[in-house]
Amino acid sequence: MTRIILIGYMGAGKTTIGKALAQELGVPFYDLDWYIETRMRRTIKQIFDEKGEEEFRRIEHNMLHEVAEFENVVVSCGGGTPCFYDNIDYMNSQAQVVYLKASPEVLYEHLQMGRRVRPLLLGKSPDEVRTFIVEQLALREPFYSKANYTLNVDLLDNFTKIQTTIENLRKILER
């Protein structure tokens, strides 16, 4: 049985790498943010706006328990998922959990790509976003580093190297 969960800060590449890894392993891919959006029929931003972060975290916790019980899957989490409730311990008990570790500089670069709305970064200037990443990453690192595997993705920072990331992941997971 293959059950792999990717965690890490916003922009680390959980969705990008997760999707590609699932395709290679021939198993379904679930992105927890997308799963929540489909189940709630609301975007993550709408949930934050309408219900607040605390309620979002409660929904996220419940939905994590749904997807982490599927068999033969790759799941990518939201950036904050491991940092609330007992989510990280629960994930470690259910799956091979991989922390995609990236420096604030690489995270910042990634967050400039794509057009995804990230409620926690809205309304911040580039400098404020940089400072926010450094400070929040320091607070979250103790949770992320509990993952039973860690892969540093700083050196794998371009599109062709996404394949190298997948190969490295398969090696450490022996999949």
Residue with tokens 């259910």: 94
What is the x/- site pattern for Mg ion, positions 15-54, by CB under 5 A? Answer: x---------------------------------------
Tokens of 141: 């690192």
Q: What is the 3-state secondary structure (H, E, C) of 60-104?
A: HHHHHHHHCCCCCEEEECCCCHHHCCCHHHHHHHHCEEEEEECCH
Give the amino acid at 25.
Answer: L
Contact residues toward ligand ATP (CB under 6 A) are 8, 10-16, 33, 76, 78-79, 110, 113-114, 118, 153, 156-159, 161-162, 165
Residue 53 contact partner, candidates ligand SKM, Mg ion, ligand ATP, none, CB within 5 to 8 A by sort of partner: none
Whether 164 has a binding-site annotation, put simply, is no
Q: Which residues fall within 8 angstroms of residue 5, CB to CB, at 6 or more apart?
A: 68, 74, 75, 76, 77, 91, 94, 95, 96, 97, 98
Name the helix (H) or strand (E) containing 56.
helix 44-67
What is the x/- site pattern for ligand SKM, positions 80-119, by CB under 6 A? Answer: x-------------------------------------xx
3 is a site residue for ligand SKM (CB under 6 A): no
Tokens of 140: 């979250």
Residue 113 contact partner, candidates ligand ATP, ligand SKM, Mg ion, none, CB within 5 to 8 A by sort of partner: ligand ATP
Residue with tokens 């969960």: 5
Binding interface with ligand SKM (CB under 6 A): 10, 33, 44, 78-80, 118-120
Binding interface with Mg ion (CB under 5 A): 14-15
